[in-house]
Chains A and B, each alone.
Chain A
Amino acid sequence: MVPLAWYLILSAILFCLGVLGFLIKRNIITIFMSIELMLNAVNLTFVAFANYWNQHAVAVSDKIVPLSGQVFVFFVMVVAAAEAAVGLAIIIAVFRTRETLNVDRVNLLKL
């Protein structure tokens, strides 16, 4: 029996490492990967709470079931896939005009 707190602490560690990567990395692709890491950390929280609710719920409404957490993870993954496609297209467009991936040299919004 693994305590729920362990899952949440693992999720918090992954999220904080993602934020750290966002702050200290200078490569725009690596920063984007840090965002994906944060999304994954939040997904772990959703799945852990879905299972926890399934085992500990006293009275569950008939409209909302504990499995909703996993369905929400599904939606997060869909949005993350869409975000990755658009974000990488933006990175390619930025690289085409700036010839660099360093975020310090990308200081204009104009393409």
Chain B
Amino acid sequence: MVHEILFVIFGLICVAGAVNLLVQRHPINSALSLVVVMASLALIYLLLGAEFVAAIQVIVYAGAIMVLFVFVIMLLNAGVEERSTGSKVALLLGIPGVIVLGCLVGWIMISNNQRLGGIRINTADFGDTHNIARLLFQNFLLPFEITSVLILIAIMGAVVLGRRSS
């Protein structure tokens, strides 16, 4: 029972933050709502027994990436969003399409609810750092090493793009 209550509370905070991201006109308010979404997602990961993922969600996403966003917003002195119509096709086809997609996925999940089953909270030492590290450094060693090259390329790309051309 506590599991359901906690899930509903954090799920509602998540959705409220995401809606607030869309409603706010100033980018800094949107960024702070996204921090709320990510923090409550981290708590939902904890409910799912994923301790390591919850920790890096807070440290990497809510910490590093969002600080980068806030830094860029302040660097560019971004003001309130201008109101412009944009693409008519996106408004007329995209928004109903998204709503239909959401309703469709929701309906499929609800109609298959019995067959899917549920998730209990008693998953001792499932997603702790020890198990993740063993998997990461044994089975997924090559992808892990490739991501270091990816990060290096991303750093170089960011430096090249951000450099003032002389």
Binding site for B on A (CB under 8 A): 1-10, 12-14, 16-21, 23-27, 29-30, 32-34, 36-37, 40, 43-44, 47-48, 50-52, 54-56, 63, 65, 67-68, 70-71, 73-75, 77-86, 88-93, 95-96, 101-104
B99 touches A16 (CB 8 A): yes
B48 touches A23 (CB 8 A): no
The residue that A101 contacts in the complex, of B44, B78, B86, with Cβ under 8 A, is B78
Q: Provided the pairs A12-B102, A85-B155 are in contact, do residues A51 and B21 lie with their beta carbons within 8 angstroms? A: no
Pairs across A and B, CB under 8 Å, 11 listed: A2-B7, A3-B117, A7-B7, A7-B119, A10-B44, A12-B106, A52-B119, A74-B53, A85-B154, A85-B158, A92-B75
Instruction: Name, among B22, B60, B82, B139, the residue most crowded by chain A CB atoms within 10 Å (CB to CB).
Output: B22
Q: Whose C-beta in chain A lies nearest to the C-beta of B105?
A: A12
Residues of B within 8 A of A4 (CB): 116-119
Q: Whose C-beta in chain B lies nearest to the C-beta of A21?
A: B22
Binding site for A on B (CB under 8 A): 3-4, 7, 11, 14-15, 18-19, 21-22, 27, 30-31, 34, 37-38, 41, 44-45, 47-50, 52-53, 56-57, 60-61, 64-65, 68-69, 72-73, 75-76, 78, 81-84, 86, 90-91, 94-95, 98-99, 101-102, 105-106, 109-110, 112-113, 116-120, 123, 126-127, 131-132, 135-136, 139-140, 143, 147, 150-151, 153-155, 157-159, 161-162, 164
The residue that A14 contacts in the complex, of B18, B98, B116, B151, with Cβ under 8 A, is B18
Instruction: Tell me the number of A-to-B contacts counted with CB atoms below 8 Å.
Output: 248
Residues of A within 8 A of B65 (CB): 36, 80-81, 84
Q: Whose C-beta in chain A lies nearest to the C-beta of B52?
A: A70
Q: How far is the CB of A13 from chain B (nearest CB, A)?
A: 6
Residues of B within 8 A of A9 (CB): 105-106, 109-110
